[in-house]
Chain A
Amino acid sequence: MQKNIILAGVGGQGILSIAAVIDWAALHEGLNIRQAEVHGMSQRGGAVQSHLRISDQEIFADLIGLGTADLILSVEPLEALRYLPYLAPTGRVVTSLEPFVNMTGYPPMEEIEAELGRTDRPVLVHASDLAKEAGSARASNMVMLGAGAPFTGIAPSKLEAGIEALFGAKGQEVVDINIRAFRKGLQLSNT
C-alpha cells in the first residue's frame, strides 16, 4: 500500500491539522510516513502545501513526484488547481468551493469549476456550510478530511480516533463537533 497525498491551501488556513490527523492514524496503523510542510515566509497568506506520503514499505523521498499524487485535498479551490501537475492519471481532486481572495487577478469561480471538472469525478464541497451544520464553521477542515477520507487508504474509524486524540485536550464538545463535521464530509464523498 502506498498513497501520495497533496494537501493544499493558503497560509493560515490550517492544512496542517488535516495532516496531523492522517499522520496520527497512519502511525498507529504501523505505516511509514513522510510529510513535508511549508514553514517561514509563505505562511503569511501565501500558497502553502504539504506533501504527505504513506506506505507499508520504506519511503525514500519527502516530496511527491509529478503525476503520482493519488489525492489532492484542498481547502481552497484555486489552490487545488495549482498542484494538478502532481495528479496521477487515476488520482482524485477533493476541494472546498470557498475562494480565499487575498491577491489581484483571482479568476471567476465558473472558470475554476470548469478546470476542476476536467479531472476525474472531482469532489466539490461547500465546507463551511457543512461545518456550521456540524456545530462550528471552524470545523471545515475536518469536513474536508472526511470528504477526502475514502482516498487516503486509511479506514474512517482510524481517522476518527485521530481526531479524538488531537482535539481531546480541547474538551468533548470540540471533539464531537469535529467528528460530526468529518462524517458530513465523508457522507458527501460516499454518495
Chain B
Amino acid sequence: MNRQLLLGAEAVAQGALDAGISGVYAYPGTPSTEITEYIQRSKEARAGGVRSSWSANEKTAYEAALGMAYAGKRSLVCMKHVGLNVAADAFINSAITGVNGGLVLAVADDPSMHSSQNEQDSRFYGRFAMVPVLEPASQQELYDAILHAFELSESVRLPVIVRMTTRLSHSRAGVERKAPVEQNPLHAEYAPNRYVLMPHNARVQYRHLLDLQPKLEELSDSSFLNRPVEGHGPLGVIAFGIGYNYAMEARKAHGIDCRVLKIGQYPLPRTMVNELFEACSEVLVVEEGYPVYEELFRGYFGSSKVLGRLDGVLPRDGELTTDLVAAALGAKLPETPAMPEIVVGRPPELCKGCGHRDMFDAINIAIRENADHHVFSDIGCYTLGALAPYNAIHTCVDMGASITMAKGAADAGLRPAVCVIGDSTFAHSGMTGLLDAINDKTPITVIIADNDTTAMTGGQCSSATGSKLVKICIGLGVEEAHIRTIVPLRQHLDENVAVLREEFAYDGVSIVIAQRECIETAAKKKRRAAATGQ
C-alpha cells in the first residue's frame, strides 16, 4: 500500500517536503493551517532540519521565505486568502526581484466564507503580480503540483502561487508519493541589480517580468494541469481548479457529453482556450471563486457566447456544487426532500468554561454603565462575543483593526473607546496601531484576551503571551500603572469590573490583559501528560 490518506493541506505539506524545502513560514488561518502543522509533526522534516515554527504574521512569513529563497534554498510560505492582503507588499515586489531558490506560496481561499470575512480570489493576486498560478483539482494533483511548482519557480526564477479552496484543503483522498528530492545547498548570490528595488533597477526587472509573460503562457500550454476532455455538442465548459470536479461529476451523473477544458495552470494556455472557443458556440465558465476569467472572456462590451456567474447561469457568489453546474449545463435535477421546518440553526459558540465568557461578562457590566458602549474587536475565538448571549463586541474587520478603529473613534470624540484583541492577533498586527495611540496620547483601553494560544485555528503557538505582552506594552510606551492584568474567572467578577471601570475612565492609553489559558489547550496538555505517564 503506497497510498496515504491526506487532506489537501497535508498533500501540500508532503509535496513540499518531498520537493526538498528547507523551511516553511506561515501564520495560522483556516483553511491553510494544516499545511504547517503537518510539517511541524513530520519526523522527516525534523530529521532534515526543516524550519517550521509559526511567524508573527503573513508579511513576516513571506519575507523570511523570500530570504531563504535568496540564499538559494527552497521555501514554502502558507496563508489563507486574507493573509495575502497582509503579505501583499512583499509578495508583489518579490515578482519584481524574482528568486534564486524555489519559492512557493500556498494560499487557501474560502468561498462561501465558512471561516472568513470575505471570499476574495487569490488568482487576482497572481494576475496582479504576473507570476504563474497553479490550481490543482485533486489531492494527488495538489501533491504533484507542489513538486512542479518548485521546479517551475527555479526555472523561471519567479515565486509561484499554488491556489486551493476550502473543499480541496479540507478533504481527504489517497495520495501517492514520489521519490524525495535533496535540499538545495546554500548558494546566496550577490545580485543587487535584482534585489535592490531602486527605480533604475526596478524598471529593468519589471521589463524582464513583462518579457517573461509569453514564455509563461507557453509553459501553461504544455502543463499537465491543463488538458482538454473529449466531448460533443455546441456547449463546452472551461473549468478552473475544482470547478473541473463538479463539471465532470455533472457529466457523469446526468449523461452529458460536453467538451471540457480543464485549467490548473495560469497564465491561461492560449492555444487550448482558442481551440475550445472555436469548437463551441457557447462556453460555460466554471470558476470556484470570483468570475476572474469569465470577465476577461466576455470583454467590456460583452460576448453572448460566454455563460457563467455574471449572467446568473451560475450564482455570482458562494461555492460551486455538482448540482449548480449540472443545472447550468441544462440537466433536470430530481426533486429532493426539504429540510424539515423544525430544524433550527446551530451557530458556533464559546466553549463551556472558556475564560472569554467571564471576560465578556465583566466587560458588559463595566461598559454598559456608560451612555456609549461601543467595543471594537478583532479576529479570533473572542469574535464569538458578538453573538448572543453576550452581544459584547460591535466590530471585527481585519487583523489588528480593533486598536486602530478604537483610536480613530476616540479621535472623533467617542468615550470610552474600548477594544478587545487576542494575544496572537496583537502580536500579528496590534503593536504598530498601539504605538500610534501612544504617540498621540489617545484615550483608549485595549483589552488583550490572552489565552496563551492561537485558539480559533486549533491552538497554535502565539508569538506573544504572558509577561512578553507586558514587556511589549511597556517598551512601546504605555505607563506601567495602566497595564493591568486580570484573571477572567467567575469568582473575580467584581474586582475585574472595578479594574475595567478605572481604566475606561483613564484619559490616556491603558491596557487590561485578561489572562487565562484556553481550556482546550489546557485539556490537550493534560491528555498528553497522562499519555506519557508524567
| Cβ of A165 to closest chain B Cβ, rounded Å | 12
Residues of B within 8 A of A161 (CB): none
Q: Of all chain B residues, which has the CB nearest A80?
A: B343
By size class, the interface of chain B is: 35 or more
Does any Cβ of A come within 8 Å of B114's Cβ?
Answer: yes
Complex interface: chain A residues within 8 A of B321 (CB):
61, 63, 65-66
Interface string of B345-358 (1 = CB under 8 A from A): 11111110000000
Q: Scan residues 42-57 of chain A and give those whose CB is less than 8 A from a CB of chain B.
A: 42-47, 51
Complex A-B: 25 CB contacts under 8 Å? A27-B174, A28-B1, A32-B174, A33-B173, A34-B171, A34-B173, A36-B167, A38-B170, A39-B34, A39-B458, A40-B456, A44-B348, A45-B346, A60-B244, A60-B246, A62-B167, A66-B323, A67-B337, A78-B344, A78-B346, A81-B342, A81-B343, A103-B344, A103-B345, A104-B344
Check if B339 sits within 8 Å of A81, measured CB to CB: yes
Majority-rule SS of B interface residues: loop
**Which residues of chain B have C-beta atoms less than 8 A from A28's C-beta?**
1
Task: Please report B residues at the A interface, Cβ cutoff 8 Å.
Answer: 1, 3, 5, 7, 30-31, 33-34, 114-115, 167-168, 170-174, 242, 244-246, 248-249, 252-253, 321-323, 326, 333-340, 342-351, 381, 384, 456-458
Q: How many A-B residue pairs have CB under 8 A?
A: 150
Chain A residues with CB under 8 A of B171: 34-37, 51, 62
Interface 1/0 per residue, A6-43 and B, CB below 8 Å: 00001100000000000110011000111111111111
Q: Which residues of A are found within 8 Å of B172, using beta-carbon distances? A: 23, 33-37
Taken together as a complex, chains A and B put the C-alpha atoms of A26 and B334 apart, in Å, by 29
**A-B CB proximity, top 9 nearest:** A40-B115, A40-B30, A46-B348, A67-B336, A62-B171, A36-B171, A44-B348, A107-B342, A61-B249
Query: Which residue of chain A is the closest to B326 with respect to CB atoms?
Result: A65
Shortest beta-carbon distance from B445 to chain A in Å: 26
State A71–B162 Cα separation when bound (angstroms). Answer: 34
A75 to chain B, nearest CB (A): 13
- The CA-CA distance from A115 to B341 in the complex, in Å, is 10
User: Which residue of A has the minimal Cβ distance to B167?
Assistant: A62
On whether the beta carbons of A39 and B115 are closer than 8 Å, the reply is yes
Contacts of B456 in A (CB 8 A): 40-41, 44
Question: Across the interface, do B173 and A78 meet the contact criterion of CB distance under 8 Å?
Answer: no
On whether A84 and B337 interact (CB within 8 A), knowing A105-B344, A107-B344, the answer reads yes
Tell me the bound Cα distance from A44 to B30 in angstroms. 14
